[in-house]
């Protein structure tokens, strides 16, 4: 994004979504186009197919576990590892307790676009890299270390942290600063629900988030960005009802490349705010450092609200290309979520971009 840094966000007017790979598409729910035993072409496909098997296993088990958790309301809030169960009979019963279309009825982007066209620089800088490389990420066991300005800090196992019996599905627009966009049915919970148990104090003015950084699991991360990837929100943004933590999408556990096992989903902000694979959260008094703001402060602001009236220094933000569509469409203020406008009342959004 910064001139001297390999840009994650070069706008390419003729940028075309990659043709769906049948192997990956199948892994994500599309009908099979070829039998398991049939030959594949080349090394890349071989790797994808291996990744696919791993992901299918995880997804099925994940669905089972989520369903179990969702159906056992009477049970105490015991940890339910969504990767534990492989009982296929519970798959049908996966149902978030609430389903909300919050993208104005717009068509959901096909899952194989969303899971194959990614920004996850820890696994490579090309859009197709994370889907191929993120299989090395181990998503269980996984804990999140929460601390800072709060009365109940703790290192919590993810399956204790996520209330699997209160999962919601939210269909949100997602707009990258690179000017591509998608519409995704995420599965998760409002961030405010998760944060409340840590009892933030009145000194908690901001919340900082950190991604795992492990060179062994992320051998391709290199030095392209200062790791770990980090992000931040003002506390009122963090507590806003639209602010969501995703553990799944399209009714399944998140694929690694989309930020498994837990990521932020911030529909009114440019995609780089939606930090993936979170391991650490800090309540802090001062505005925290954020990765892209660190490497390009003139180009990537802390707030990063989608705003068609404030161009990026090197390209316009007035329009975008929805993956799978031929023509560009106009970008909407706050990505079409005007309910967040009061958060920024009185602020000069050209200065606080
Ligand atoms: N989180 C981490 N840890 N590393 C990244 O490179 N990229 C960001 C964001 N979160 C990124 C990240 C950017 S630029 C975007 S647009 C979104 O993830 C992409 O999310 P997606 O791949 O699920 O579409």
Q: What tokens were used for 55?
A: 């992901």
pLDDT, residue 68, reads 30
Residue 98 banded pLDDT, cuts 50, 70, 90: confident
**What does the block give as tokens for 254?**
């998140």
Q: What is the mean pLDDT of the segment spanning 74-83? A: 38
For residues 1 and 58, the model is more confident at 1
pLDDT tens per residue, range 316-351: 999 999 999 999 999 999 999 999 999 999 999 999
- At residue 95 the predicted structure's pLDDT band, cuts being 50, 70 and 90, is low
Mean pLDDT of the chain: 79
200 CA to centre of own chain: 24
E-state strands within the chain: 98-101, 143-148, 154-157, 168-175, 180-190, 206-211, 230-234, 244-249, 252-253, 263-265, 278-284, 319-322, 329-330
Which has more confidence, 108 or 70? 108
In ligand 1, which atom is closest to the CA atom of 258?
23
| 13-33+41-344 carries CATH number 3.30.2130.10 | no
Q: What is the DSSP string of 7-38?
A: -S----TT--PPPPPHHHHHHTTPPPSS-TTS
- Selected residue with higher pLDDT from 99 and 220: 220
Which of the 8 DSSP states describes residue 316? -
Distance (angstroms) between ligand 1 centre and the Cα of 151 equals: 31
Average pLDDT over residues 225-253: 96
Phi, psi angles (nearest 5°) of residue 70: -65, -25
Cα–ligand 1 centroid distance for 257 (angstroms): 9
- Segment 294-300 shows an average pLDDT of 97
228 lines ligand 1 (CB under 6 A): no
* pLDDT at 164 (0 to 100): 86
- Report how far residue 215's alpha carbon sits from residue 124's, in angstroms, rounded to the nearest whole number: 12
What pLDDT score was predicted for residue 58?
A: 38
Confidence of residue 301 (pLDDT cuts 50, 70, 90): very high
Q: Report the pLDDT value the prediction gives residue 94, as an integer from 0 to 100.
A: 38
Residue 228 CA: nearest ligand 1 atom is 3
Which range among 16-30, 156-170, 226-240 has the greatest average pLDDT? 226-240
3-state secondary structure of 251: coil
pLDDT at 252: 86
Please count the other Cβ atoms lying within 10 Å of the Cβ belonging to residue 51.
Answer: 22
**Which of these, 135, 244, 141, lies nearest to 187 by C-alpha position?**
244
Q: Which of 9-13, 125-129, 163-167, 289-293 has the lowest mean pLDDT?
A: 9-13
Q: Which residue has the higher pLDDT, 107 or 92?
A: 107
> What is the pLDDT at residue 157?
95
Q: Is the CB of 331 under 6 A from ligand 1?
A: no
Q: Which token pair is 163?
A: 């209330």
Q: Which atom, in ligand 1's list, is nearest to the CA of 276? A: 1
Whether the per-residue pLDDT at 114 is higher than 90: the answer is yes
- Find out whether the beta carbon of 256 lies less than 6 Å from any atom of ligand 1: no
Q: Mean of the pLDDT values across residues 192-197?
A: 97
**Mean local confidence (pLDDT), 263-289:** 98
Mean pLDDT to the nearest integer, 229-258: 95
**56, pLDDT greater than 50:** no
DSSP string over 96-153: -SEEEE-STTPPPPPHHHHTTS---GGG-SSTTHHHHHGGG---SS-EEEEEESBSS-
Q: What pLDDT, on the 0 to 100 scale, is given for residue 34?
A: 27
* Domain segments of the chain as ranges: 13-33+41-344
User: Is the torsion defined by CA of 101, 17, 39, 54 positive or negative?
Assistant: negative
What is the structure's pLDDT at 75? 33
Task: Give yes or no for residue 283 CB within 6 A of ligand 1.
Answer: no
- C-alpha–C-alpha distance, residues 114 and 107, integer Å: 13
């Amino acid at each position: 994004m910064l001139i001297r840094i390999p840009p994650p966000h070069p706008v390419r007017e003729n940028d075309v979504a990659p043709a769906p790979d049948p192997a990956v598409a199948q892994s994500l729910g599309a009908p099979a186009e070829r039998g398991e035993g049939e030959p594949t072409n080349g090394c890349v496909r071989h790797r994808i197919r291996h990744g696919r098997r791993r992901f299918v296993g995880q997804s099925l088990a994940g669905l089972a576990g989520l369903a179990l958790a969702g159906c056992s309301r009477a049970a105490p809030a015991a940890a339910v590892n969504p990767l534990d169960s492989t009982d296929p009979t519970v798959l049908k019963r996966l149902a978030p307790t609430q389903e909300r279309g919050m993208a104005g009825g717009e068509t959901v982007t096909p899952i194989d676009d969303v899971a194959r066209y990614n920004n996850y620089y820890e696994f490579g800088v090309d859009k197709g890299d994370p889907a191929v490389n993120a299989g090395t990420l181990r998503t269980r066991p996984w804990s999140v270390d929460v601390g800072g300005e709060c009365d109940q800090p703790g290192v919590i196992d993810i399956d204790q942290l996520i209330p699997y019996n209160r999962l919601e599905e939210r269909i949100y627009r997602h707009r990258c600063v690179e000017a591509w966009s998608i519409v995704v049915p995420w599965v998760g919970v409002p961030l405010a629900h998760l944060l409340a148990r840590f009892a933030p104090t009145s000194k908690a003015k901001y919340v900082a988030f950190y991604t795992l950084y492990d060179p062994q699991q992320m051998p391709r991360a290199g030095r392209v960005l200062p790791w770990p990837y980090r992000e931040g929100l003002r506390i009122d943004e963090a507590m806003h009802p639209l602010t969501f933590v995703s553990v799944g999408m399209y009714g399944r556990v998140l694929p690694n490349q989309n930020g498994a096992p837990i990521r932020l989903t911030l529909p009114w902000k440019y995609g780089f705010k939606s930090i993936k694979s979170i391991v650490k959260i800090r309540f802090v008094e001062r505005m925290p450092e954020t990765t892209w703001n660190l490497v390009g402060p003139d180009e990537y602001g802390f707030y990063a609200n989608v705003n068609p009236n404030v161009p990026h220094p090197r390209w316009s933000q007035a329009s975008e290309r929805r993956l799978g569509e031929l023509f560009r469409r106009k970008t909407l203020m706050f990505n079409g979520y005007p309910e967040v406008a009061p958060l920024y009342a009185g602020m000069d959004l050209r200065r606080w971009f």
